[in-house]
Amino acid sequence: NAGVTQTPKFRILKIGQSMTLQCTQDMNHNYMYWYRQDPGMGLKLIYYSVGAGITDKGEVPNGYNVSRSTTEDFPLRLELAAPSQTSVYFCASSYGGSRYNEQFFGPGTRLTVL
């Protein structure tokens, strides 16, 4: 049971480039989330999904897109990278529809936009 896995671990992008951050979970969780963590700050929610085919915006969605075609995968797309998107990105998942359940986090992707 690998839990939540993320690729790549590190990436450097030039301004205007695009990329997809991959996230996969093998716990059959139907809820999945993308967060960004800026230095000295807490996590901010970018997008989340309550199941395959259903996504919704979080607190800071601008500049990002997501899709959820399967239960396991929840990729995050950056279309036109900007320096403000330099951050550490965490994917997370949780079980079921209960808001009481804790989230399980991946190891993160450190992204630098130059």
Partner 1 sequence: AQSVAQPEDQVNVAEGNPLTVKCTYSVSGNPYLFWYVQYPNRGLQFLLKYITGDNLVKGSYGFEAEFNKSQTSFHLKKPSALVSDSALYFCAVRDGNAGNMLTFGGGTRLMVKP
Binding-site ranges for partner 1 (CB under 8 A): 4, 31, 33, 40-45, 48, 50, 56, 58-59, 90, 92, 99-100, 102-108
Which pair of tokens denotes residue 85? 């998107």
To 5 degrees, how large is the angle CA 93–CA 104–CA 1? 95
Q: Evaluate whether 60 touches 45 at the Cβ level (below 8 Å).
A: yes
Smallest distance, partner 1 to C-beta of residue 80, A = 26
Smallest distance, partner 1 to C-beta of residue 42, A = 4
Q: Can you tell me the distance from the alpha carbon of 98 to that of 65, in angstroms, rounded to the nearest whole number?
A: 25
Smallest distance, partner 1 to C-beta of residue 4, A = 7
Residue nearer to partner 1 on the CB measure, 17 or 107: 107
Which pair of tokens denotes residue 37? 């963590």
Residue nearer to partner 1 on the CB measure, 17 or 105: 105
